[in-house]
Structure 1
Amino acid sequence: MAKSVKLSQLVEELGLKIIEKSRDYEEIEISDKNINRPGLQLSGYMEGFPYKRIQIIGNVEYRYYMGMSPELRYERFRGLFTADIPCLMFSYDREVTRDILDLANYYNKTVLISELETTRLASKLNMYLEKHLAQEISIHAGLMEVYGAGVLIRGESSVGKSETALDLITKGHRLVSDDVVEIRRVDNQLVGTSPENIRHFMEIRGIGILDIRRLYGVGSVKTETNIDLIIHLENWKENVEYDRLGLEDAYENILGNEVPILTVPVKPGRNVAMIIEVAVRNLRQKNLGYNSAKYLTTRLFNDMNPDMKDMDYIEMYDNL
């Protein structure tokens, strides 16, 4: 089911002025995250009109329609209002002529005004709609920002997710969410946040509920972060052969995005928080083009083959 946001909510949160309100104003919902500046439609070309989008009259469109004769202006705006547009919006706090308002009233359309210039208004609308209409899921996990990277910490109950997150907090990293993470896809990037009612709180068995912001200060928490790495914690299993080289990268698909995932076995004596810090540093090196496991493998192979040329060595590294 497609997501939508109420027009009334958008108007309130962006501080827009209503100069003509449709009779069904409270029921109008917007499901298209794009906007449209109806210059072509004002010129009379209606084929392919994206009428489900918010329609913005910017400076250019305003000057164009103000130069029309009253009869032509009436006809062109009648074409706009007969379509099922969610609203018509004017930038630059423009004065809207009476004939436009009469048409909006007759065709039961909402007309809005913003004090912002067109570019800033379009930018704010895009950001707002992208946020509210993005694909979204909720998962059972914790989310930390470690060295600027968003790390999703998953695992079975009682494996130590919250304790690991708390250890990271004491090392200066920031908590985004404990236990439940809301993930949405914005501009092809996954963004994670916490449900508002549990934001900045953490449950530690044996202690109870902790308010991390009050205990460690505002620098210990963050509202949201991009998700760059998944750490899956599991209790150490003696019969499982865990990856010891890291030559092959594993990924998990979340909302269409491939996110690197590492499985970290947990057992007494292992400093999991430190391992996560190292994993983030190593991920950053990989993103910069350096893979230590591949480099070591080619180096060892080169030692066994002293006649190998430098270009062969580089090509072997790139192909691993």
Structure 2
Amino acid sequence: MAKVRTKDIVEKFNLELIAGEEGLNRPITTSDISRPGIELAGYFDYYPSERIQLLGKTELSFAERLTEKDRQDRMGRLCTDITPAIIVTRNLEVPLVMIEAAERESVPLLRSKQKTTGFSGRLTNFLESKLAPTTAIHGVLVDIYGVGVLITGKSGVGKSETALELVKRGHRLVADDCVEIRQEDDDILVGNSPDLIEHLLEIRGLGIINVMTLFGAGAVRSNKKISLVISLELWDQNKQYDRLGLDEEKMKIIDTEITKLTVPVRPGRNLAVIIEVASMNFRLKRMGVNAAQEFTEKLADVIDETDN
């Protein structure tokens, strides 16, 4: 099923439909946008017909200089059975030959009041967001001091209870139980909650609670960039846990690697405080302050002095 169709951008950007209404349900498969200047000059060898075609003042003024025969030929070749839309910007007058060609091939011919470059940027951002690779992960996503923390772990380990404590401490819930993740760039993962369970937390023994209703609008947010993964697991006495913080584990989500910390769970450990401190420490590391590294260097200096 197509993620985005031509009718979606018509609604999103309030575009005027000039011709080709029958094609409004065409799928948009790429976020790349084409400005077909070289095609209007007659070179169609590498024409990206699967892209949205954007025509501004430059393209239309050039088309006016063509002979009637060439104009009809070029406009006709711009309209293919897979072209999702042709958009004219700046509210410019649309040539009659383009209207006829679009109507003939059922290619949606649209018009925008916005300037070409600005509209191109906004349209590209919208399409990249909608067409980005996506996945879903069982976990909880919380915004802690501006750090998007994805809390994972087996069912019943205490993820939702920890999230509730974090919300009480002033942090913001993004998603509970199921986190929808999209990769907006090579190293940018953005998580959000499915519409059905947005703002909801499931607490065993208590049931489902609405975080926004209980704690206010400041306790939730719709989406957040994921920067850190914290995996909760039941304490295993036979497992050696990292005690210095020098080793940095990674977790791959789609094509992006995210820093991962494994936190053992057992009675008496305040997970909310531990995760809160882990988030602050993560921010410090990004600013160049690494307590574990500094300790290791001081320890090495003391050892060297002792040896001497």
Moved more, 54-63 or 169-178: 54-63
Deviates more, 1:83-92 or 1:163-172: 83-92
TM-score (norm 2): 0.94
Q: CA offsets per residue over residues 168-210 of structure 1, 9 Å max, x none?
A: 1011110000100000000221000000111001111122111
Q: Give the alignment of 1:269-288 within 5 angstroms.
A: 269-288=268-287
Partner Cα separation in structure 1 for residue 278 and residue 41 of structure 2:
57
Residue 133 of structure 2: aligned partner: 135
Q: Secondary structure at the match of 1:306?
A: helix
- Unpaired runs of 5+ residues, structure 1, are 309-320
CA RMSD after TM alignment:
1.8
SS at match of 2:257: strand
Aligned partner of 1:191 in structure 2 is 190
Deviations 1:88-127 (A, max 9, x none): 1111111212121112222332201111111221122112
In the other structure, the counterpart of 1:206 is: 205
Mean CA deviation greater in 209-218 or 15-24? 15-24
2:2 and 2:27 in contact (8 A); partners too: no
Q: Name the SS of the counterpart of 2:79 in structure 1.
A: helix
Listed as ranges, the gaps of 5+ residues in structure 2 are none
- Between the aligned partners of 2:154 and 2:58, the Cα distance in structure 1 is 58
Q: Partners of 1:25 and 1:211 in 2: how far apart? A: 38
Counterpart of 1:115 in structure 2 is 113
Q: Deviations over 1:55-88 (max 9, x none)?
A: 0002221222233333332222122124742211
Matched residue, 1:97: 95
Match of 1:38 among 33, 36, 39: 36
Contact 2:229/2:259 (8 A) holds in 1? yes
Q: Distance in 2 between matches of 1:297 and 1:68?
A: 73
Amino acid of the structure 1 residue aligned with 2:43: Y
Partner of 1:312: none
SS at match of 1:290: coil
CA deviations over 1:117-139 (Å, ceiling 9, x no partner): 11221122112211111100111
Q: Quote the Cα distance in structure 1 between the aligned partners of 2:306 and 2:100.
A: 86
Report the 3-state secondary structure (helix = DSSP H, G, I; strand = E; otherwise coil) of the residue aligned with 2:305: coil
Distance (whole Å) between structure 2 residues aligned to residue 59 and residue 221 of structure 1 = 44
SS of the residue corresponding to residue 305 of structure 1 reads helix
Q: In the aligned structure 1, how far is the partner of 2:198 from the partner of 2:81?
A: 43
Deviation at residue 4 of structure 1 after TM alignment: 3.9
The answer to whether the Cα contact below 8 Å between 1:145 and 1:175 also exists between their aligned partners in 2 is yes
What residue identity is the alignment partner of 1:246?
A: G
Alignment of 1:1-320 (within 5 A): 4-26=3-25, 28-82=26-80, 84-188=82-186, 189-306=188-305
8 A Cα contact 1:3 1:133, kept in partner: no
Greater Cα offset, 79-88 or 98-107: 79-88
Q: Is the 8 A contact 1:229 1:260 kept in 2?
A: yes
Q: Which amino acid aligns with 2:207?
A: G
Residue type of the alignment partner of 1:73: R
What letter matches 2:236 in structure 1?
A: K
* Deviations 1:16-38, CA, capped at 9 Å, x for gaps: 11110253432x11111111111
Distance 1:243 1:78 in 2: 66
CA pair 46-93 structure 1, distance change in 2 beyond 3 A: same
